[in-house]
């Protein structure tokens, strides 16, 4: 372990992929879309993957995991999951959450904070219907975040639902979408000498205010 840590200490790669991010100062959603498109063009691996962090209310313990952004619609960042999962339970008690996108090839991050609420049943139905059959059956078979006695139990449930739904697989009532409505969006661009550019959009009663933070 110490040898590995020493190798990391000896690594001093600088940040030299981008410049100041003044082109984003007008609208944070257009700015995100621009950066997202550039991440796709730059062949960033799973550019729509992001970390979502939630809080367990009784202990104030934060937890994080990867989800996939499926849509940016009506100024909401939309993702889908099991409502009974740990994240779903925590969002029910405390709808405040954060998202973090990291595109290392471009040396960029976007941090988003805001309130989460469920999307409409119709939106969840439409997206669920677009998923591969195996993923649809998995949404029924997995009691997400609960203790699993053994792998065979999960496979058995998958096979049971495969027989139960020989044709169309309906959306489970405990599965659907969330939309995060941001009140803060921070764009982070790596720059040389660790003098990174951090541009923050803070929502106000009327629109968005902008300011920079020290790196």
CA distance 196 to 176: 37
Task: Note the pLDDT of residue 23.
Answer: 66
Task: Note the pLDDT of residue 25.
Answer: 64
Write down how long the chain is.
215
SS3 124: helix
User: Does some domain include residue 178?
Assistant: yes
Candidate list 65, 133, 157, 194, residue with the active-site label: 194
pTM (two decimals): 0.89
In this model, does residue 8 exceed pLDDT 60? no
User: Does some domain include residue 5?
Assistant: no
User: Does some domain include residue 3?
Assistant: no
Going by pLDDT thresholds of 50, 70 and 90, the confidence category of residue 148 is: confident
Report, as an integer, the average pLDDT of 94-105.
98
User: Does some domain include residue 2?
Assistant: no
In this model, does residue 11 exceed pLDDT 60? no
For position 135, which CATH number holds?
Answer: 2.30.110.10
The torsion angles phi and psi of 136, rounded to 5 degrees, stand at -60, -45
User: Does some domain include residue 106?
Assistant: yes
Total count of domains within the chain: 1
User: Does some domain include residue 41?
Assistant: yes
The parent domain of residue 89 ranges over 14-213
* % of the chain with per-residue pLDDT over 90: 80
User: Does some domain include residue 9?
Assistant: no
* DSSP code of residue 146: S
Q: What is the tens place of the pLDDT at every residue in 165-186?
A: 999 999 999 999 999 999 999 9
Residue 142, both tokens: 């997995």
User: Catalytic site residue 194?
Assistant: yes
Nearest to 53 by CA among 66, 39, 72, 68: 66
């Amino acid at each position: 372990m110490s040898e590995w840590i020493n190798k990391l200490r000896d690594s001093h790669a600088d940040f030299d992929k981008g410049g100041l991010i003044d082109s984003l100062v007008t609208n944070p959603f257009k700015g995100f879309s621009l950066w997202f498109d550039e991440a796709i063009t730059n062949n960033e691996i799973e550019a729509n993957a992001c970390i979502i962090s939630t809080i367990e209310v009784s202990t104030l313990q934060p937890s994080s995991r990867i989800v996939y952004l499926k849509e940016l619609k009506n100024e909401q960042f939309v993702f889908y999951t099991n409502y009974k999962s740990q994240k779903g339970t925590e969002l029910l008690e405390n709808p405040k959450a954060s998202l973090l996108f990291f595109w290392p090839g471009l040396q960029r991050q976007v941090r988003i904070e805001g309130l989460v609420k469920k999307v409409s049943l119709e939106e969840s139905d439409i997206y669920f219907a677009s998923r591969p059959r195996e993923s649809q059956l998995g949404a029924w078979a997995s009691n997400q975040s609960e203790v699993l006695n053994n792998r065979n139990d999960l496979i058995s449930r998958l096979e049971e639902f495969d027989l139960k739904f020989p044709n169309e697989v309906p959306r489970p009532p405990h599965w659907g979408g969330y939309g995060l409505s941001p009140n803060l969006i921070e764009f982070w661009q790596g720059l040389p000498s660790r003098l990174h550019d951090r541009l923050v959009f803070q929502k106000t009663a009327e629109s968005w205010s902008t300011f920079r933070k020290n790196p």
